[in-house]
Chain A
Amino acid sequence: MLISSCGEGTKEPPKAEIYEVKNIGLLSTSEYTIGKIIKLDHVPEWYKIGDRKILISCKAKIKAGVDLKKLRDGDIVLNGTTLTILLPPAEITTFTMDPKLTHTEMESVSGFRQAFTQAEKNDFMRQGEKSIRHDIKETKILQDAEENAAVFLRDFYKQMGYEKVVVKHRKAEIK
């Protein structure tokens, strides 16, 4: 205990004074709520006695839409009463994991193993977030966002008197 206590002195937290205000133009048109169970069953080295298991449930709110700042000259063309808009490809606009919607469902530590620390749990949630960010690409969120953006803009412009509004999407550039 004496050994473990040594060197565990607290550090003064850094003073954060960094902020940035940026002008954006995001039209978010689709919101998905994604749930995931984060599962860890740590099998220790042979000389360690006991297990550590944890199940954490989390939720992510993800919005997708189009970045209207990426509209280029010539992307909005008016021909008589027909308006044609070429929108940039849909993208994820917001990714939020609300801490209130994250719960440890099960935690089991046996033998001589140590309990999970908050730093470890945060690391598991980071891995969960990375996994959700990867798997969200497999859903139809971007397709929905493009369709919803087209519906919204058609309604919006029609209210301004344009008889026909054609909304197209630019294809995403392959990086």
Chain B
Amino acid sequence: MKDLTRFLKNLLVLLIIGAVGYLIYWLFFKESPEDQLLIDKTPIHIEAIRAIAEISTVNYRDEVVMDSVIRYKGTTAWSWIDSTEIYDRNFNDNIKRRLTLIVRGEVRFGVDLSEMNYKIRQTEDSIFIQLPKPKVLDVVVSPSKTEIFQEQGKWTDRERTTLETKAKVKLVANANRMVLDQKTEKNMRTLLHQMIRSDKKLIIGFDE
């Protein structure tokens, strides 16, 4: 009975020490996630202005997940200092660092006529329009469409940028798998037929 009382007293003291320790950590060290840090007002700078002429006719919207995992190598001996590592090795699938992004983006297909690189020819009964080959005009990604799903450990900007760049490549690869070039051409033909009012027959071709 005496031993039990002593054990409970010790346990209580340990709990109090732990609680005080956490309170100190929470008050002085931990950054409170509830407070959204607001950036200062700064002006924008126009760095370039360009006249373009791009007609987009297909929009592919997708969401890709990019996951980067770095695991511990070798073995380690138990110590209080390495408690995080011990936890991760035993209870967190040996994961040292992990960064997972969810990137929502759009891939736009169309034709770029900025260089006036199209030809129009007419005969008595037909109009021939030769357009450049459809291509990916834009890969639309932005921070508001990017979610940091999880971040464990320290990650550099370069590592995050690399993941985001890979996400863009993946978005385009997914879009290309849908063979959207043909759809782009079809939509372009429909659009031009709606825009050109003529009794002549409209024949639209695309460069190879």
Contact = CB atoms under 8 A, between A and B. Distances in A.
Interface of A: 1-6, 8-11, 13-16, 18-42, 47-49, 52, 59-60, 63, 65, 68, 71, 76, 78, 83, 93-100, 102-104, 112-115, 117-132, 135-136, 139, 144, 148, 151-152, 155-156, 159-161
B49 A144 contact: yes
A131 B168 CA distance: 23
A161 B161 contact: no
A152 B113 contact: yes
B58 A14 contact: no
A112 to B, nearest CB: 5
Contacts of A3: 18, 21-22, 25
B65 interface: yes
B46 A139 contact: yes
Given A10-B150, A122-B143, A32 B49 contact: yes
B174 A19 contact: yes
A152 B53 contact: yes
B39 A99 contact: no
B31 interface: yes
Interface string B104-139: 000010100100100010100001000000000111
Interface of B: 18, 21-22, 25, 27-31, 36-65, 67, 69, 80-81, 83-84, 87-88, 91-93, 95, 98-100, 102, 108, 110, 113, 116, 120, 122, 127, 137-144, 146-152, 154-155, 157, 160-161, 164-165, 168, 174, 178, 180, 183, 187, 191, 194-198
Contacts of A60: 142
B54 A28 contact: yes
21 contacts: A4-B25, A9-B91, A9-B92, A21-B61, A23-B58, A24-B187, A28-B55, A31-B49, A35-B44, A59-B47, A76-B197, A102-B161, A118-B155, A124-B39, A129-B142, A131-B42, A144-B51, A148-B51, A148-B52, A148-B53, A160-B122
A19 B52 CA distance: 28
Contacts of B21: 3
A62 B191 CA distance: 24
Contacts of A113: 31
Given A152-B113, A155-B116, A160-B196, A29 B51 contact: yes
Given A21-B60, A112-B28, A124-B39, A33 B151 contact: no
B143 A125 contact: yes
Contacts of B51: 29-31, 144, 148, 151
B149 A36 contact: no
Given A24-B58, A27-B54, A100 B161 contact: yes
